[in-house]
Amino acid sequence: MERIFRDDVAREMAGHDFLTIADLSSEQFQRLIDAAQVLKQARRAPWTRRLLEGRTLAMIFAKPSTRTRVSFEVAMYELGGYALFLNPQDLQLGRGETVADTARVLSRMVDGILIRTFEQAEVEELARHATVPVINGLTNTFHPTQAVADLLTLREHKGDLHRLVVTYVGDGNNVAHSLMLGAARVGMELRVCTPPELAPDPEVVRMAQQKAEETGARILLCHDPAEAVDGVDAVYTDVWASMGQEGERERRLELLRPYQVNQELLSRARPGAVVLHCLPAHRNEEITDEVMDGPQSVVFDQAENRLHAQKAILTLFLGTEPV
Ligand code: CP
Ligand code: NVA
């Protein structure tokens, strides 16, 4: 068995929830990236097929998903476990059973719960009443499992994370929030470039900047995309209207149009800079076809890395020993 899943850092994480990166130490967050790398290299190794033998994961998705759903389901399968996909409309949750009671019942039957929903408070409520680890599969505020795959992808393509300068361009949303909290833990410089009206939540900025002081990271906010991508190692973007914000689409498109990641903007970054996007993309809105399909794009490696990241998350938080 790899020591990466058995030492003191791994023991600290086992049995805990993964609701936001703000709850993790730098060492714990980096362990997720390292473990994801190990599991990626060992994808077909027999020892990995027994890591979660006999374990089950309940997956509640109140919003659509391709990558998160498939990667968690395949990760459970490849590690020897089983995943159940649950649509809240088909659960008694959809008829008014409380989140707390759902948590109590599921905890009697499964070994972990993944939830994608709207309010972060709902995920916290579920975790408060569950006796098994709860993993946040995206809320309006955070997307922590995404950031593990993002930083693994950056490290694979650009090397040591603490030397990198990365610019996130677009909406200061859930993906930006988790990227900021992750960047702060790996000592990276992250410039978050948004329209002033769509800047990240000041409380998340404060948490990221506070952590950055410990690790030597820099988390900077700015509004001018051309200046923000000047000489950087990577450019990251996400959709301009997230799930649940469809009603604000027109206003957002208007505000965000100058923030499109196109070839002209990308030409200001370093020549070997890579382009990331958590996907799904709205092609030719936040990112042009030319950039997304171009040689600097690593978006599909990033999507694949969700699988390896989920394996690390499941193995470390559910723990390798049945509890
Ligand atoms: N990036 C991401 O979470 O994709 P899905 O919405 O397809 O899960
Ligand atoms: N910010 C996007 C990410 C989708 C994976 C959303 O919340 O819809």
- 94-148 pLDDT, tens digit per residue, is 999 999 999 999 999 999 999 999 999 999 999 999 999 999 999 999 999 999 9
Q: Which residues make Cβ contacts (< 8 Å) with residue 267, sequence separation at least 6?
A: none
CA 34 remoteness from chain centre: 15
* Residue 233 structure tokens: 């190692």
Ligand 1 pocket test: which of 152, 278, 300 has the largest number of ligand atoms within 8 Å of its C-beta? 278
The beta strand positions in 170-279, using DSSP E, are 189-193, 218-222, 234-237, 274-277
Mean pLDDT of all residues in 34-60: 96
Ligand 1 pocket test: which of 145, 177, 306 has the largest number of ligand atoms within 8 Å of its C-beta? 306
Q: Is residue 323 part of a domain?
A: no
- 116 catalytic? Reply is yes
Whichever domain contains 14, its CATH number is 3.40.50.1370
Do 29 and 112 lie in a common domain? yes
Q: Is residue 322 part of a domain?
A: no
Do 190 and 216 lie in a common domain? yes
DSSP state, 15?
T
- Predicted local confidence at residue 141, as pLDDT: 98
Do 88 and 34 lie in a common domain? yes
Q: Indicate if the pLDDT at residue 288 is higher than 80.
A: yes
Beta bridge partners of 190: 166, 219
Do 50 and 88 lie in a common domain? yes
Q: Is residue 157 part of a domain?
A: yes
Do 44 and 181 lie in a common domain? no
Q: What is the pLDDT of residues 237-262, one digit of tens each?
A: 999 999 999 999 999 999 999 999 99
Instruction: Report, in angstroms and rounded to the nearest whole number, the Rg of the chain calculated over CA atoms.
Output: 19
Closest Cα to atom 7 of ligand 2: 242
Question: Is residue 310 within 8 Å of 71, Cβ to Cβ?
Answer: yes
Do 128 and 177 lie in a common domain? no
H-assigned helices in 187-277: 202-215, 225-228, 249-256, 263-266
Do 312 and 232 lie in a common domain? no
pTM of the model: 0.98
Do 162 and 293 lie in a common domain? yes
The ligand 2 atom at the shortest distance from the C-alpha of residue 67 is 5
If you write DSSP's letter for every residue of 118-146 in order, what string do you get?
A: S-HHHHHHHHHH-SS-EEE---SS--HHH
Q: Which residues make Cβ contacts (< 8 Å) with residue 147, sequence separation at least 6?
A: 21, 175, 178, 179, 181, 182
Domain carrying residue 192: 144-303
Ligand nearest the Cα of residue 140 is 2
User: What is the number of residues in the chain?
Assistant: 323
Q: Is residue 234 part of a domain?
A: yes
- With tokens 């506070």, the residue in question is 210
Ligand 1 midpoint to CA 178 (Å): 14
